[in-house]
């Protein structure tokens, strides 16, 4: 097999790095290098997303005037729906090797082929089995403002390393390396892809743009190394090696495993229940899980835009997929924010308390609670006064916290169970009380943060972490377990300027 086909993207980037730095550095600990490189890659993805949000023309209609190409592997990397609508995404994966079933094909003319490509939300681009590039994670971005390649691979010593480059020569070599994969399988749309790539001129970006990317990368670094360094060297190696296997297994899933299954597997295999590295791993995993779920939701939304062409049953199923993805994404977001608050007191500053309208918040949230209850055949009785006072909290995070708490309550009940929700004032606080009549489906603890319910497969934050969230939201959560009546949860939230007596 020709040598150019075996070349990985790490090989391409290593050549540039050699030209920049001819001084060999000290060999890092391989386990620490793995964590360090992963956190740099995660930070770079967030920085690139920020850069695209600032450089693309957001006022264009989605699907018109394509503003960029994004090639990645093994999954799509961006989650911002507005951003995705202005970019064309291609994913290199061995699962797309039978590309005729996944890409528009057949004996069409060039104009028809180009139209088919334009109508494809995500291109599945094939990698042959055992291609060494499968072991890498990468993202190649091409726009009229800048081009960027980010790679999580291995250096010449076989140690995990993160590379990135804005250099036009390097970007071109990277594309030629990826293009070779398509040429060797005689991809039917290679000419059309070449034409699209050629529309984005590779120029050296403004140094301010590169500096902005570097600053954003540093600002978005997950804290994956500092906690590992504090452990003893021997235990640190065992823990990190164990997580290397877990991360690879989760990352090779192409939107097929549920978020609950993935987090349950990891939590069951954590080597030390009190290790803070668990929090950092959960942060990384929730990010990786949210990305394919967001892609599925985006594709579903695109299909629903053409619901007039679909049958009512198909439309209902697509809407069910969209709702399920939204619930899972919000659950992952809540877990991610919880790990932020638990891992460092500094992150508590990310909770922005402000005066907000509880009436509006409940109007948006209560229908979701009722849908959750209906799916479990649980009756939910909500008693809310006609006029509600303003409260002081973080509305977005409060919405997720309340929804997560209600889901936990709903899933803890057997079919036919009952939940009563009531709202009143108690001094300078608003009192939201949730009473469930039984607790027949107990949760099991998984590590420091999560609880798992074997009967339903539900993952949720444990009560201690949930209490901390409400405390950071300016409130307080109390729990009383009653043997016959069930469980009573009471949430107190500070009132805003306008206080009404609700009784």
Q: Domain segments of the chain: what residues?
A: 3-219, 232-349, 351-494
Residue-wise pLDDT tens digits, 79-106: 777 788 888 899 998 875 543 333 333 4
Is the confidence at residue 164, as pLDDT, over 90?
yes
The DSSP code sequence of 266-310 is HHHT-S-TT-THHHHHHHHHHHHHHHHHHHHHHHHHHHHTTGGGS
Buried b (16+ CB within 10 A) or exposed e, 93-115: bbebbebeebbbeeeeeeeebbe
Is the confidence at residue 116, as pLDDT, over 60?
no
Query: Are residues 489 and 497 in contact, defined by beta-carbon separation less than 8 angstroms?
Result: no
Can you tell me whether residue 394 is helix, strand or coil? coil
Is the confidence at residue 398, as pLDDT, over 50?
yes
How many angstroms separate the first and last alpha carbons of the chain? 79
User: In this structure, how many other beta carbons lie within 10 angstroms of the beta carbon of residue 389?
Assistant: 20
**pLDDT for the residue 223:** 55
Can you tell me whether residue 409 is helix, strand or coil? helix
Higher-pLDDT residue of 223, 91: 91
User: In this structure, how many other beta carbons lie within 10 angstroms of the beta carbon of residue 333?
Assistant: 17
- Looking at CATH, the fold of the domain delimited by 351-494 is given as Heat Shock Protein 90 (3.30.565)
Query: Are residues 394 and 351 in contact, defined by beta-carbon separation less than 8 angstroms?
Result: yes
Higher-pLDDT residue of 62, 8: 8
* DSSP-derived secondary structure letter, 66: -
**pLDDT for the residue 332:** 85
Top-ranked range on mean pLDDT: pick from 110-119, 194-203, 256-265: 194-203
Can you tell me whether residue 192 is helix, strand or coil? helix
**Chain-centre distance for alpha carbon 38:** 15
Calculate mean pLDDT across residues 9-30.
Answer: 66
Beta strands across the sheet bearing 379-383:
379-383, 418-426, 429-436, 486-494, 476-482
User: For residues 309 and 192, what is the distance between their CA atoms, to the nearest angstrom?
Assistant: 28
Higher-pLDDT residue of 272, 486: 486
Closest CA to 476 of 403, 393, 400: 393
**pLDDT for the residue 58:** 56
- If you search the block for the tokens 């990698």, which residue do you land on? 127
Q: Return the minimum-mean-pLDDT range out of 141-150, 163-172, 221-230.
A: 221-230
Residue-wise pLDDT tens digits, 274-332: 455 666 677 777 777 777 888 888 888 888 888 888 888 999 999 889 888 888 888 88
- Angle 323-250-43 (CA atoms, 0-180°, nearest 5)? 85
**pLDDT for the residue 72:** 94
Percent of the chain with pLDDT over 90: 15
- Angle 230-232-236 (CA atoms, 0-180°, nearest 5)? 85
Radius of gyration, alpha carbons of the chain: 25
**pLDDT for the residue 384:** 85
Q: Judge if pTM exceeds 0.75.
A: no
Can you tell me whether residue 340 is helix, strand or coil? helix
Can you tell me whether residue 3 is helix, strand or coil? helix
Calculate mean pLDDT across residues 68-89.
Answer: 86
Cα–Cα distances (Å) from 461 to 359, 372, 407, 408, in that order, read: 26, 17, 11, 9
Cα–Cα distances (Å) from 121 to 62, 86, 104, 370, 458, in that order, read: 11, 11, 12, 33, 31
Is the confidence at residue 252, as pLDDT, over 90?
no
**pLDDT for the residue 106:** 40
């Amino acid at each position: 097999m020709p040598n150019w086909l075996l070349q990985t993207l790490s090989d391409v980037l290593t050549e540039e790095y050699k030209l920049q730095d001819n001084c060999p550095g000290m060999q890092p600990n391989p386990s620490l290098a793995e964590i360090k490189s992963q956190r740099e890659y995660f930070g770079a993805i967030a920085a690139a997303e920020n850069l695209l949000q600032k450089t693309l023309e957001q006022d264009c209609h989605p699907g018109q005037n394509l503003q960029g190409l994004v090639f990645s592997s093994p999954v799509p990397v961006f989650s911002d729906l507005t951003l995705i609508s202005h970019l064309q995404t291609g994913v290199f994966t061995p699962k797309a090797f039978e590309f005729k079933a996944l890409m528009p094909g057949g004996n069409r003319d060039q104009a028809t082929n180009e139209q088919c490509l334009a109508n494809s939300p995500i291109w599945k681009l094939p990698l042959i089995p055992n291609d060494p590039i499968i072991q890498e994670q990468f993202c190649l971005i091409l726009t009229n403002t800048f081009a960027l390649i980010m790679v999580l691979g291995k250096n010449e010593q076989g140690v995990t390393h993160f590379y990135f480059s804005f250099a036009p020569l390097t970007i071109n070599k990277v594309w030629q390396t990826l293009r070779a994969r398509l040429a060797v399988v005689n991809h039917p749309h290679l000419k059309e892809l070449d034409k699209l790539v050629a529309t984005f001129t590779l120029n050296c970006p403004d140094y301010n743009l590169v500096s902005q990317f570097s600053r954003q990368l540093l600002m978005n670094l997950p804290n994956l190394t500092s906690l590992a360094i504090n452990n003893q060297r021997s235990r640190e190696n065992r823990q990190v090696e164990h997580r290397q296997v877990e991360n690879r297994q989760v990352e090779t899933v192409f939107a097929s495993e549920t978020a609950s299954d993935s987090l349950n597997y990891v939590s069951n295999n954590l080597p030390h229940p009190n290790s803070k590295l668990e929090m950092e791993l959960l942060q990384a995993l929730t990010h990786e899980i949210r990305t394919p779920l967001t892609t599925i939701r985006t594709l579903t939304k695109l299909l629903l835009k053409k619901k007039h062409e679909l049958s009512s049953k198909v439309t209902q199923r697509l809407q069910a997929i969209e709702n399920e993805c939204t619930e899972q994404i919000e659950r992952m977001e809540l877990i991610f924010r919880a790990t932020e608050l638990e891992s460092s007191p500094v992150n508590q500053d990310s909770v922005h308390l402000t005066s907000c309208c509880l009436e509006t918040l409940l109007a948006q949230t209560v229908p979701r609670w009722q849908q959750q209850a209906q799916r479990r055949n649980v009756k939910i009785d909500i008693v809310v006064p006609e006029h509600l006072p303003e409260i002081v909290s973080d509305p977005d995070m409060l919405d997720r916290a309340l929804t997560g708490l209600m889901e936990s309550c709903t899933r803890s009940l057997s079919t036919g169970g009952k939940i009563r929700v009531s709202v009143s004032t108690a001094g300078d606080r608003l009192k939201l009380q949730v009473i469930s009549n039984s607790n027949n489906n107990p949760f099991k603890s998984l590590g420091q943060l999560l609880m798992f319910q074997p009967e339903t497969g539900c993952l949720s934050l444990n009560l201690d972490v949930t209490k901390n969230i409400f405390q950071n939201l300016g409130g307080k959560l109390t729990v009383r377990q009653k043997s016959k009546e069930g469980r009573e949860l009471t949430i107190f939230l500070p009132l805003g300027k306008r206080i009404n007596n609700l009784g």
